[in-house]
Amino acid sequence: MTLRGVIQVGCEFFIVAAAGGSAFYFVKGALRSSSKGGRLAGGVQEVISNGPRVCRWAAWFGVMTAIKAGMVRSRQVQDPLNFAAAWGGANALFSVHRGPRAAAREGLKGAAYSAVTGFTVGGLIVVLLQPPESTCC
C-alpha cells in the first residue's frame, strides 16, 4: 500500500464515521427529542448540536485507521500490535494539546483498551465458533 493509499483509507473511514454518527444522532433526535409533528426538525437539530462530537470521533477513527494502515505498510505484517499502536497513537495525538504527560498517558490507555478489546473479541470468536459437544449415549 502506498502513502496515498494510507491517506485514502483514513479519509474513507473518516467519511464513514461522520455519516454513521450523523445518522445516529438524526434518528436519536427524530425519535426521542421531538414531538410527533416535528420529527424532521428534531433530527436535524440533534445533528447540528452534536456536529463537533461527530467530527471529533470521525477524525479520531480516520487517524487511527491511517496509522494502522501505515503500520501494516511499514511492517508488512497484519497483527494485533498494529491495532494497539494505532489506537494508542490516535489517543496520544488527540491529547497532545493537554501536554506531553497527558498525551503519553492517553496513548498508553488507548493501547491497553485495544489489547482488552482484542482479547475479548478473540475469546468471543473462539467460544462462538466452537462446535457443539455431542450429548448422545
pLDDT digits (tens, 9 = 90+) for 90-114: 999 999 999 999 999 999 999 999 8
131: left (phi over 0), alpha (psi -120 to 50) or beta: beta
User: What's the confidence (pLDDT) of residue 33?
Assistant: 66
pLDDT in tens, 6-59: 778 778 878 888 888 888 888 888 888 677 778 888 888 888 888 888 888 888
pLDDT: which is higher, 89 or 8: 89
33: DSSP letter: S
Neighbouring residues of 89: CB distance < 8 A, sequence distance ≥ 6: 63, 64, 67, 107, 110
Cα(86)–Cα(32) distance, integer angstroms? 35
Cα(11)–Cα(68) distance, integer angstroms? 13
User: What's the confidence (pLDDT) of residue 136?
Assistant: 65
User: What's the confidence (pLDDT) of residue 1?
Assistant: 66
With CA atoms as reference, report the closest residue to 5 among 102, 74, 92: 74
Q: Mind giving me the DSSP string for 41-87? A: HHHHHHHHHTHHHHHHHHHHHHHHHHHHHHHHHHH---SHHHHHHHH
pTM attached to this predicted model: 0.70
Grid coordinates 479519509 are at which residue?
11
